Amino acid sequence: MTLHLKKGSSRKSAYDLKNPLDELEETHTLAVLVDNEAGVLARVIGLFSGRGYNIDSLTVAETDAEGHRSRITIVTTGTPAVIEQIKAQLGLIIPVYRVNDLTVEGPSVEREMALLKVAGKGEKRVEAMRLADIFRANVVDSTLESFVFEITGAPEKIDAFTDLMRPLGLCDIARTGVAAMARGI
Amino acid sequence: MSREMTGAQIVVEALKEQGVDTIFGYPGGAVLPIYDAIFQQNDIKHILVRHEQGATHAAEGYARSTGKPGVVLVTSGPGATNVVTGMTDALMDSIPMIVLSGQVPTFMIGNDAFQEADTVGITRPCSKHNWLVKDTADLAETIHQAFHIATSGRPGPVLVDIPKDVQFASAPYKAKAKTSTARYQPQVKGDIEAITRAVEAFEQAERPIIYSGGGVINSGVASSQLLRELVTSSNSPITSTLMGLGAYPASGDNWLGMLGMHGTVEANLAMHGCDFMLCVGARFDDRITGRTDAFSPDSFKVHMDIDPSSINKIIRVDVPIIGDIGHILEDFLKVWKARGRKTKSAAIKKWWSQINEWQARNCLDFTNSDTIIKPQHALQRLEELTKNMDRYITTEVGQHQMWAAQYLNFDDPHRFMTSGGLGTMGYGLPASVGVQVAHPEALVINIAGDASFQMNMQEMATAIQFNLPVKQFILNNERLGMVRQWQQLLHGERYSQSWSESLPDFVKLAEAFGAKGILVSDPADLDEAIKEMLAYDGPVILDCVVEKHENCFPMIPSGKAHNEMILCDEETADAIDAAGKSRV
């Protein structure tokens, strides 16, 4: 039997048993292609704050310098009706070219990068190093009393790594937010 | 080779090329170059308002009565912040409006310069789009884009912020024809499959209702004609939102009156009891739906709208059709006719006999008086004495607005200008100024309340300056009538701050402005007073002193459904429960 996993609706459960009309909240990843003009990010963020939508994660950078296009990746939570409304409202913003809901449009990959500073000595320092190895985190800065790890992966992986580093002397963390893309062509 | 001009000249040239004949504005330091360019030409008339908010509402009145966009010109800082209310109003009611604002020179932006404000930041949520133009070379194209965006798709307000140095600097003029508008092309044709599905459901309808809105009017006069054809040829009952009044004539046989919170019994019960609802260019606003989980429980719903975000926002519909109402209605009629103009005529006849029963309750009846003027009576008399005239009506916001919608009849689109979505007190007087500018020979009446009128009464001076014979019909109850009504129903008759303690003498006020003032308080003198107002060639304030504690009925109390209307004072006790109280 194939499990029809619908990401977001099935975070806690392996089965997608959701009624599209019910009021349970789901998490969706939206890729928004915009003109890279002044104020475009403020328009997008203003829409979310003004209408009371959630932003779980937001990343933005220019992806096409010649065409002046930027890609905004937004992870948001809401009932199915709210998610539909968010997409429709985003579509009304004049500099928005396209809105893709990566959560429903087929399989996609999500990656996030984080920098974690872990300070410690002795056994804790060794343990941090060992765990970093397991998580395939890179050391990008090192002193005798600290490391800065760079880790890339799905947000859940970074959550897990962060939780492990906390008792080992985690003292600073910077996360980029999610970048996402549909699989295949 | 295009001509080289200053930014200020480019603004005027672009406006001319866009066919603008009138702008509403107020000068100030950061727009002086544009005002200088306006001084040196005669094609565009500038109407000097007395407050920038007045300019926006005048532009709205101009736009809604003509179908053309309204243009506003203001200075930086306070000039720009004063247009926020009017822009929000235009955004809610889908009115095409172009606001040009001056800004401090580019090299001073961010320095907290004199009369500097973050205009694009402030107006971002209240505009369809806005721009800060930092280079004169981009100015012409930006203005052409602004007109395109304001007027296409779902119309709305846009703002172009122009720093003073950009107005002084020179650049080649870019013509409208050379401006690309390909980037913003909203869908106008409806999906033919969806239209066919809608027609199929329409053919099966035994209890249909057509519920039309401002989208029909925005789509143009031809859309109103198509709507009328559909209603007449299918014998469907039709109701309309406040914004849609006039698209189908109030004198038409199939007209049920306005629906919603203060709509008629027959319209609301027909909405509740129908088995097929055709929503044409309306957006299921909360004033219309009442309690959403009890809204028209048994109907198949078709929603025609140009704005995809209006679909399923409040009410889930069975068939959404996105596009321009004119195009959709044309295709809908075409498909319906091609399939043989089928209707369940026997069932619809039965539906009509049910509706006729509801109509027989005469829900707009009121107890008249011969000692004091009832506001409803005043409007009935006004209707009687002006119905055959070339008449435009604007209103302020409150009880008088609802009574105007109930007791005045609108037989044509573009004849009723009112602030629907935002509910802006102070809209009506400046809007009447804008309407009169566009229609100098027509009769323009603003139905006002004593409180709303005072919110923008400075615009009487504008009416005087430009010889605009606007008639201000004030239903004076010395109260904030609608606030008072809600306090009576919801807050134990504790009338907190809803009294007008020190009203001006409106007759003297009119005279102080150079207008004519008329006072009437005896029902016996009412007709004479109205005739005197109509006969006077110039602005008039008619102070019509009315019953102070009259309530506006029918009313769907907040938190209730369409079939839970209250019709008179006797039914108001405990009409609103705790859940309803928290609603607006």
φ and ψ of B280, to 5 deg: -110, 100
Contact A94 B184 (CB under 8 A): yes
**pLDDT (mean) for B307-311:** 96
Q: DSSP 3-state assignment of B100?
A: strand
pLDDT per residue as tens digits for the range B509-526: 999 999 999 999 999 999
In single-letter form, the type of residue at position B56 comes to: T
pLDDT per residue as tens digits for the range A163-175: 999 999 999 999 9
Confidence of residue B541 (pLDDT cuts 50, 70, 90): very high
Q: Would you state the pLDDT for residue B181?
A: 87
Express the helix, strand and coil content of chain B in percent, nearest 5 each: 45, 15, 40
- Of B475, B454, B455, whose CA–CA distance to B520 is shortest? B475
Q: How many CB pairs under 8 A join A and B?
A: 33
Residues with Cβ < 8 Å from B542, sequence gap 6 or more? Answer: B471, B472, B473, B474, B518, B520, B529, B530, B533
State the CB neighbour count (10 A cutoff) for residue B122. Answer: 17
Q: Which residues of A are less than 8 Å from B141 in CB distance?
A: none
Question: Who wins on pLDDT, A98 or B500?
Answer: A98
Residue B277 CB burial class (10 angstroms; 0-12, 13-18, ≥19): buried
pLDDT at A13 over 90: no
Q: DSSP 3-state assignment of B143?
A: helix
Q: Would you state the pLDDT for residue B570?
A: 78
Q: Would you state the pLDDT for residue B546?
A: 98
Contact between residue B550 and residue B484 where contact means Cβ atoms under 8 Å apart? no
Q: At what angle do helices B399-407 and B481-490 cross, to 10 degrees?
A: 100
**By the CB < 8 Å criterion, does A68 face chain B?**
no
Q: In the block, which residue shows the tokens 């580019």?
A: B106
Instruction: Dump the DSSP string for A80-104.
Output: HHHHHHHHHHHHHSTTEEEEEETTT
pLDDT at A11 over 50: no
State the CB neighbour count (10 A cutoff) for residue B331. Answer: 22
φ and ψ of B237, to 5 deg: -70, 145
pLDDT per residue as tens digits for the range B129-156: 999 999 999 999 999 999 999 999 999 9
**By the CB < 8 Å criterion, does A48 face chain B?**
no
State the CB neighbour count (10 A cutoff) for residue B286. Answer: 14
Q: In the block, which residue shows the tokens 């005279």?
A: B511
Q: Which residues of B are less than 8 Å from A88 in CB distance?
A: 308-309, 311, 313
* Percent of the residues in chain B that have a pLDDT greater than 70, as a whole number: 99
- Of B62, B48, B60, B90, whose CA–CA distance to B439 is shortest? B62
Confidence of residue A3 (pLDDT cuts 50, 70, 90): very low
Cα angle for residues A105, A110, A116 (degrees, 5° grid): 160
pLDDT at B188 over 70: yes
**pLDDT (mean) for B257-285:** 97
Rg (C-alpha) for chain A, rounded Å, is 19
Which two tokens mark B494? 């504790």
Contact A43 B124 (CB under 8 A): yes
Q: Which residues of A are less than 8 Å from B307 in CB distance?
A: 92
Contact A38 B311 (CB under 8 A): no
Q: Which among A39, A46, A91 has CB closest to B308?
A: A91
**By the CB < 8 Å criterion, does B307 face chain A?**
yes
> In terms of residues, how long is chain A?
185
Q: Which among A21, A46, A91 has CB closest to B125?
A: A46
Contact B120 A89 (CB under 8 A): no
Is the preceding peptide bond at B554 cis, omega within 30 degrees of 0?
A: yes
DSSP A20: T
pLDDT at A122 over 50: yes
Residue of B124, B126, B314 to mutate when probing chain A, most A C-beta within 10 A: B124
pLDDT at B580 over 90: no
CA distance B163 to chain A (A): 16
Q: DSSP 3-state assignment of B419?
A: coil
Contact B124 A38 (CB under 8 A): no
pLDDT per residue as tens digits for the range B329-382: 999 999 999 999 999 999 999 999 999 999 999 999 999 999 999 999 999 999
Contact between residue B415 and residue B392 where contact means Cβ atoms under 8 Å apart? yes
Pairing of strands A146-153, A26-35: unpaired
**By the CB < 8 Å criterion, does A85 face chain B?**
yes
**By the CB < 8 Å criterion, does A67 face chain B?**
no
DSSP B83: T
Instruction: Dump the DSSP string for B225-258.
Output: HHHHHHHHHHT--EEE-GGGTTSS-TTSTTEEEE
Contact B124 A42 (CB under 8 A): yes
Q: Would you state the pLDDT for residue A23?
A: 74
Rounded-to-integer distance, Cα B256 and Cα B244, Å: 13
CB proximity under 8 Å: A 97-116 to B = none
pTM of the model: 0.93
* CA trace torsion A82, A86, A89, A91 (10° rounding): -140
Residue A52 CB burial class (10 angstroms; 0-12, 13-18, ≥19): exposed
Beta bridge pairs of residue B35: none
Instruction: Give the nearest chain B residue to A46 (CA atoms).
Output: B125
**pLDDT (mean) for B144-170:** 98
Q: Which of the residue ranges B47-61, B419-433, B558-572 would you say has the lowest mean pLDDT? A: B558-572
The CA-atom distances, in angstroms, between B385 and each of B246, B408, B428, B478, B532 are 19, 11, 21, 25, 11
Q: Would you state the pLDDT for residue B397?
A: 98
Confidence of residue B500 (pLDDT cuts 50, 70, 90): confident
State the CB neighbour count (10 A cutoff) for residue B473. Answer: 26
Average pLDDT along chain B: 96
Q: How far apart are the first and last CA of chain B?
A: 58
Just list the catalytic residues of B.
52, 114-115, 164, 482
Q: Would you state the pLDDT for residue B571?
A: 77
Q: Would you state the pLDDT for residue B270?
A: 98
